[in-house]
Structure formats: structure tokens, C-alpha cells
Chains A and B, each alone.
Chain A
Amino acid sequence: MTVAVTVRGAVKTYGPHRVLDEVDFTARAGEVTAIIGPSGSGKSTLLRAINHLEPLDSGFVTVHGELIGVRIHRGRLRELSERAILRQRSHIGFVFQSLNLFPHLSVVENVIEAPIVTQGVPKREAIARAKELLAKVGLSDKVDAYPRQLSGGQQQRVAIARALALEPKLILFDEPTSALDPELVGEVLTVIRDLAAAGTTMVVVTHEIGFAREVADHVVFLDAGRVVEEGPPSEVLYTPSHERTREFLGKLV
């Protein structure tokens, strides 16, 4: 299996607080990697660092072998131009924790915006493709609706379709179900499960341990900005070797 995401020595501080403390992390291509851990453990920060929404203080990220957000210049890492970073991001899908679709644009307009602007896809083609994607997430009948007319689960599925529209090699999910009530969680997880079955590379920050157990190929447990342990779900979730992991999982059950 080839490596899709590599994070090496990631450090991020907010004032005196070290959110990421020399994190090493890899996600393999075609796999679902779940990042779990208590609130404030740095999960979201790590995920956001992968597409440079959160610039690192030191350390680096590569996606499919390409450095993200920085380049090597005279033996140092230098931040790329805004434009170059935006170009890199257009190959990495990101689905947010909160439901932040663009409320003034219809569902289909939300989905076609990025392909048209960043990839120069002709509008007609983009619309056709958007409709296919919306059908895939079960929202064929909501193409012309506005986000506020949809339920939370439907909105999050549109957000996934919006991320998929860029045909990303990698999709990052930041607690995709945390804003949803339990009944709607299922809808979203089904879509993610389908993507996993199709071999999409995904990194998912999640509180849904059940989901991680079922869908993830690899689980990373983060605490206080450090990777405590990682491995296949059968090990990390069922027979954790580390005391802190046991404690965390014990609280959930």
C-alpha cells in the first residue's frame, strides 16, 4: 500500500499551549484512517494541518509525496504563496464539523462552485456531474433547494458531495456527524461507508467509536497533542495497550 498522507514532527502552539507536540502520522492510500481522542487533544488541529488550514510551527505534511503549504528553500521550509496553497487544497476534500454550506447558494450551486472556479470545468458539465454526485448521496430531489431548507443530515451529505466534486485524491472529515442528532448520523455514515467501499482515501476525526470500529482500517489515538497509540481497530479499540487509551474508551462505554 502506498502512503497518502505523511505528517512528521508536527508542532503547533497557541501561546504557551502546545496543541500538537511532535506528531508523526501516516495514512495509507485507499484506507480509512480514524483519528480519535478526547476534546482538546489536537485531533482537529492535526486534520486542519493536513490541508494547511492550520499552518504548523515546525514539522511538515506531505500528501501523495507533495509537500503541503511549504517548499524547501535553502535547506529550510518556507510557506508557499496563498495562490499555490489554494491550488493544493483543491485536490484535498474537506468536510467540516459545522454545517457550513454557502446558505445563499442553492445545493447545486454549492457543489459546482469550486470545480468551475478552480478547475475550469464548463458549467454544463459541472452541473451534470453535480447531479450525479447528489444522486450518489441520495439527494436527487434537493438539487435546487437552499441549504436552510434541508435537515442537518441532508446538509452534511451536500457538504460531502461538494468535497467530492473536486475529485479529490484524499478527503478529510472533521467530526462530520457532531452537529447531527442521532437519527441523522446514520445517513451520513452510510455515505462515508460507501466511499470507503469504493476505495477513497479518507482521514476522519470522529467521536463515533462504533463507526471507527466498523469502517476504519487504521485508528490513531491522540491525547494532549501526542499520538498515544495506533494500529488496526481490532487492536486499538478492543485490546488497547496503553493505559490512557483504555481510560478514554472505558468512559465512552
Chain B
Amino acid sequence: MTSSPPKPPPETELAKPVQETTDELVEKLASRKVVPLRHPWRWAAAAVALVLLAQAAHALVTNDAFQWDAFGYWFFRPVVLEGLLLTLQLTGLAAVFGLIGGIALALMRLSRNPVLRSVAWGYIWLFRSIPLIVLLLFLANVTALYHTLSLGIPFGPSFVEFSANDLLSFYFVAVLGLSLNEAAYAAEVVRSGIISVDQTQLEAAAALGLPKSRQYRRIILPQATRAIIPAYANQLIGLLKGTSVVYITSLLELFGVVQSQASVNSGQIIPLLMVGTIWYIVLTSVLSVIQYYLERYFSRGALRILPLTPFQRFLRAAGVAR
């Protein structure tokens, strides 16, 4: 919203009366409340914004092309909910594996061991360079590269062998691809959090004789988390929407369902896309709320006084709580 540009202080109306003052008038002025500066342009700008919003809402509701009845029909269809569930699963698993991998890579990049450092750097470089869609297609076609995968001593005998075909179901491919990609980005997010913590904290912990692992777990990571959360929430929201890419492996997550239903129900692409859009908005909103509370939790000690949550402010405004 725009407000009026700063104006020179208004010609003071007080100047005149004060000049030709009597003691009485001075006395009266001294005890009067000061009238704050009015901001008429703020009100005007707010009004314009509200009118535009109302117009947009009106356009959405009244245009028949949106087919809101079809939207209502599809929104809770089991086939859509199944896609939604798959989206949630992919996001959840890739977030967990990606974060674990990311923390490991971040610690490797910060390690004093040059080999670990280079390996982590190389991994991040590689997986940030490959577009997710290319990576997924590669993995989906990995049987062309390797026919069997085996578990055993590196370059030595193997204990178990899998056929690449059995192991690499599309579901597995999707989780693997998303996690590999996610780990590379999460690593940088985690690393940025860790280096944002003052190094004297490590020194203080070392001087107290705290073991290395404890120095990181108890002292560094909780403080790093405060810086990590906003960036990682971004990353997570990107991942949530990024899962839509897996439809190219013919896995029907939310977007895949919308897309495939649109191709068999001609003329309904708009309401179906709206179904997908609204679900993504719902999920992102939930993540944003979680982000807010996590940030609040991890700002313990960083702020002198925690601000009220919107819910607390609501209660207070409603007069329920003090």
C-alpha cells in the first residue's frame, strides 16, 4: 500500500496565537492533547485496494467459465484425494531424507577434512546443476545404465543383489530423485544457519569441556535453526510444489490427477486446475502457520519479549483474555 509522500511540516496554526500570547492561552495549550497528523492518502490507497480486490472476487465468482459446480464436484473426489495423499507422502519423505542428507552435507562442507569438504561441495554442485525433471527421467530409466544393484564390500564381493527393475518402482524413483535434489539445497540452507552462529559460541562450549557432538547438538544447531527456518520453509514450499514434476514418471500425485482427469473430461480443465491450485494453497498455508510457530519457538532468548501470536491478539481484542 502506498501512503502519501512525506510533506513538509504543516504551517503551524499555533504559531500565531502563541505569538500574541497571554499567559492564560499558554497555560491552556500546555494542557491540551496534540492532534496527530492525519493521513488521508493512506485511506484513499486502502479504499482503492479494496475495490480492486472486490472486483477480482466478483470476476472469479460470476464468470461461468470457472464452472464452480464442477469445482465443487471434483474438490473432494477420492481420485483427487488420493493424488493429494501421494503429494503429501512425497513431500514428507523427501523433506525428511533431504534434511538428513542436507545436515550431513553441511557438516561435511564445514569439516576440516579436505576430502569430505570437496565431496560435499561436488555433490551440491552436481545436484544443483541437474534440473529435477532431468534427474527424475534419468532415475526412471536407470535400468538402461545398471541392470543390478548390489549391497556388499565396495569393489568386492556382494551379499545381496537386486534387479534394478524391481527396486526402482516409480514411487521409489520419485522419492529418491526429490531427496537427492532436496539434500543439495537443504545443505546450503543448513550451512548458512550454522555459519550465522558466532564462532565464540563453539569456543565457549569447548572451554567448558563439552564434547564435540554436544557442542553442535546443544549449542550450535538450536541457534542455527533460527536462521534456518525461514529459508528452509521456502525450500519446503518449493518442494511441495516441485513434487508436481513427478507426473512425468506417470505417477499420479495431485497435479498428475488433475492433468489426467482434464484429458478425459473435456471442457473441465479450468475447474480441475482450480482444484489443484486451491489444494496447493491450503497446504502452503498450513506450512506457513507451522513456520510461524517454529520461528517463535526458536527465537527464545533472541528476543527480549516475544510478540503475541495473531491468535493471542484476537483473544485480547475480543476481550476474552488479558
Give me the interface of A with B, judged by CB distance under 8 Å.
Answer: 51, 53, 82-83, 86-91, 94, 96, 98, 100-106, 113-114, 117-118, 146-149, 162-163, 166
Contacts and interface: CB of A to CB of B under 8 A. Distances in A.
Contacts of B211: 83, 86, 117-118
B302 A89 contact: no
Interface stretch (B33-41, B59-67, B217-225): B217-225
Interface of B: 198, 200-201, 203-212, 214, 218-219, 222-223, 226, 298, 300-304
Contact of B210 (A86, A91, A94): A86
A91 B208 CA distance: 9
8 contacts: A96-B207, A102-B219, A113-B218, A114-B210, A147-B301, A148-B301, A148-B304, A162-B208
B198 A104 contact: no
Closest 6 CB pairs of A and B: A90-B209, A146-B301, A114-B208, A94-B207, A89-B209, A104-B301
A149 to B, nearest CB: 6
Contacts of A147: 301
Nearest to A94: B207
Contacts of A100: 198, 200-201, 203-204
Nearest to B210: A117
Contacts of A104: 222-223, 226, 298, 300-302
B301 to A, nearest CB: 4
Contacts of B303: 148
Contacts of A105: 301
Contact of A102 (B201, B209, B212): B201
B260 to A, nearest CB: 48
Contacts of A94: 207-208
Contacts of B209: 86-91, 114, 118, 166
A89 B223 contact: no
Contact of A166 (B203, B206, B208, B218): B208
B101 to A, nearest CB: 25
Contacts of B298: 104
A149 B302 CA distance: 9
Nearest to A114: B208
A103 B301 contact: yes
B201 to A, nearest CB: 6
Contacts of B300: 104, 146
A134 to B, nearest CB: 17
Contacts of A51: 207
Nearest to A174: B207
B214 A103 contact: no
Contacts of B218: 113, 117
Contact of A96 (B200, B214, B219): B200
Contacts of B226: 104
Given A86-B209, A100-B200, 11 more contacts: A82-B212, A96-B203, A102-B223, A103-B223, A114-B208, A117-B210, A117-B211, A117-B218, A147-B301, A162-B208, A166-B208
* Residue of A51, A86, A89, A149 contacting most chain B CB atoms (<10 Å): A86
A91 B211 CA distance: 14
Nearest to B225: A104
Nearest to B302: A103
Contacts of B205: 102
A89 B208 contact: yes
A240 to B, nearest CB: 32
A53 B200 contact: no
B211 to A, nearest CB: 6
A88 B208 CA distance: 10
Nearest to A101: B204
A53 B207 contact: yes
A114 B208 CA distance: 6
Contacts of B210: 86, 113-114, 117-118
A102 B302 contact: no
B200 to A, nearest CB: 5
B205 to A, nearest CB: 8
Contacts of A148: 301-304
Contacts of A101: 204
Contacts of B206: 53, 86, 89
Given A86-B210, A87-B209, A118-B209, A102 B204 contact: yes
A147 B209 CA distance: 21
Contacts of A163: 208
Contacts of B201: 100, 102
Contact of A98 (B200, B207, B301): B200
Contacts of B200: 96, 98, 100
Contacts of A166: 208-209
A96 B202 CA distance: 12
A14 B214 CA distance: 30
A104 to B, nearest CB: 4
A148 B301 CA distance: 6
Contacts of B207: 51, 53, 89, 94, 96
